[in-house]
Amino acid sequence: MPKRQDEDDELAAFRSRDARWLQLADDALSASEKSSQALELAKEEQERIRKQLKGNIEKYQRLEQRKNKKA
């Protein structure tokens, strides 16, 4: 019977170790997914800022054209 107990203990240790590695892998994937989402949000914000700046430049140019027409 002790041999069977040793085998059960060894199997339990393997299962515990494997479960820990799976948890670490899941955590790493979660972290990479989070960083990927953060990067996507940063890209979207960058695009929004670019559009806003482009719009501001166009408005300024139209304002300058109107000023020049009046002068």
Q: What is the pLDDT along the chain (71 residues), one digit of tens a residue?
A: 466 777 777 778 778 888 888 888 888 888 888 899 899 999 999 999 999 999 999 999 999 998 888 86
Q: What is the predicted pLDDT for the residue at 5? A: 76
Q: What is the predicted pLDDT for the residue at 2? A: 63
Q: What is the predicted pLDDT for the residue at 43? A: 95
Distance CA 37, CA 59 (A): 33
Of residues 58, 40, 50, 52, the one with CA closest to residue 66: 58
